[in-house]
Amino acid sequence: MDEVIFLEVLEADEVHARHRLDRFPATVGRGYSNDVILDDPKVSASHLLIERTEDGRLMLRDTGSTNGTFRVEPWARLAELELTDDARVAVGDTVLRFRGRSHVVEDTRVTAIPVAPQVRPFERPFAFPVVLAVTVLTYLLREYLTNYQKTDWGSLALAVVAPVFVCFVWSGLWSVASKVARRVFHFGAHGAIGSLGLLGLLVIPLLIGVITYSLGLGAWVRWLYLATYLGWMGFILFWHLRYVTRTEPQRLITVLGLVLVCFGALTQADSLLGEEDFSSTIDFDRTLLPPAFQWVPSKPVDTFFEDTQKLQEDVDKLAKEKS
């Protein structure tokens, strides 16, 4: 063995503490007279002695400990052991590893992006305030346009306060996660991502609603809704997670994709299983927009009533299957 060796205290293969030993004999134990002190109540006050023999080898000896010393692989109690590189012994609940200076470490891992790190869009200065402002303005506009009564200042104020509050709470939670996992809050980035997510929650149904109405699209639009919502959720969660974990983007996308597909399937479970609750209400898309939004021609009355023939078949089928 080398002149200098390192004693490493392991916790589940991770190095918890590392001690450089260059003068021998060296002692290990719980007592303060030792060269290496181990705070393990099952370790004796004076537990191990490491000394160099005349022919230069390093020997580890148990100095009469209460609970003994063990070789890890294969497990065996020992009184003394010649130290080799990477040798492991267990004392009490602690595992010790010995390595010399000549220990060969693994090759350096090559990073996926060998270019200079770019400034991510959400980290640009003022990204959070700008996105939040756009979101709040959109909510405010929506509130104004959908209120056909006398101006209601209370609900207008709520349209400002509610998105801001939600954004701050949401990004606060993600920031805490970032701080725990990566020691940086990234509050601005999380705030910008969160505000963008909130903006999508309002804009997506609005846009799809307008397109559905204007082009007279059919009932399959609900799948478009589902796909867009899931895609949007995936996008937002992906960026939040980029600031929380160090996982490779490819892997993150795969995992998120799987999770969202499962989530989407669960939300559609009852309609996929053909379950439908009884309801005596009339269920159709009530959207009405100004005349300029009608982009497809109106059908003649004849065609409309011919199209409704199919409804009869549909409800007849329902009546049969449930009775």
Partner 1 sequence: MLTLLLLAALAQAPVPAADALPGDPPDAGTPAVVPPLPVATLPPATHELFERLKGRVAQVRIIERRSGTRSSIGSAFFVSTEGHALTNYHVISDIVHHPEDYTAELVREGKESESIPVRVVDVDVVHDLAVIQQDAPVTDWFELAPKEPPQGTRLYAMGNPHDLGTTIVEGTYNGLVQDALYDKVHFSGAINPGMSGGPTVTSDGRVVGVNVSTMGNQLGFLVPVVHARELVERAREVKESSPSALLAVVGSQLLDNQQRITERLLAAPLPTQKLGDYHVPGRWSPFLKCWGDTPHEPENPYTITSYQCSSEEDIYLSGAHRTGVVAYDHAYVSSDQLGSLRFASLYEATFSNDPGGVDATKEDVTNFRCRVEFVKVGGIPTRTALCLRAYKKFPGLYDLALRAATLNASTSGVQTSLTLAGFSADNARAIARRYLEALAWTK
Nearer to partner 1, 113 or 301 (CB): 301
Given 105, 112, 113, 145, the residue binding partner 1 (CB under 8 A): 145
Q: Is 75 in the site for partner 1 (CB under 8 A)?
A: no
Tell me if 304 contacts partner 1 by CB under 8 A. yes
Residue choice 102, 111, 146, 250 for contact with partner 1 (CB under 8 A):
146
Our finding on whether 118 is near partner 1 (CB under 8 A) is no
H helix or E strand, kind and range, residue 48: strand 48-52
96 in Cβ contact with 10 (< 8 Å): yes
322 binds partner 1 (CB under 8 A): yes
Q: How far is the CB of 280 from partner 1 (least distance, A)?
A: 6
Position 278 contacts partner 1 (CB under 8 A): yes
Nearest to 47 by CA among 1, 99, 103, 9: 9
Do the Cβ atoms of 51 and 63 come closer than 8 Å? no
Rounded to 10 degrees, what is the CA torsion of 211, 216, 222, 224?
A: -50
Residue 108 sits at the vertex; the CA angle it makes with 103 and 112, to the nearest 5 degrees, is 160
**List 20, 183, 246, 310, residue binding partner 1 (CB under 8 A):** 310
What residues between 189 and 248 interact with partner 1 by CB under 8 A?
216
Residues 254, 258: Cα–Cα separation, whole Å: 6
Smallest separation, CB 294 to partner 1 (Å): 6
314 lines the binding site for partner 1 (CB under 8 A): yes
Number of residues located near partner 1, criterion CB under 8 A? 45
Say whether residue 262 binds partner 1 (CB under 8 A).
no
Pick from 32, 149, 246, 274: which binds partner 1 (CB under 8 A)?
149
- 152 or 248: whose CB is closer to partner 1? 152
Closest approach, Cβ 161 to partner 1, in A, equals 22
Rg (CA), the chain: 34
> CB burial class (10 A; 0-12, 13-18, 19+) of residue 225?
middle
What's the closest the beta carbon of residue 155 comes to partner 1, in angstroms? 13
CA atoms within 13 A on the CB side of 275: 6
Which residue in 147, 247, 254, 268 binds partner 1 (CB under 8 A)? 147
Is 315 a residue that touches partner 1 (CB under 8 A)?
yes
**C-beta separation of 228 from 166 below 8 A:** no
Instruction: Tell me which residue of 183, 185, 176, 166 sits closest to 123, measured CA to CA.
Output: 185
Residues in the chain: 323
3-state secondary structure of 102: coil
Considering beta carbons, is residue 23 or 286 the nearer one to partner 1?
286
Q: Using CB under 8 A as the criterion, which residues of the chain lie in contact with partner 1 when the complex forms?
A: 144-150, 216, 276, 278-292, 294, 296-301, 304-305, 307-308, 310-312, 314-316, 318-319, 322-323
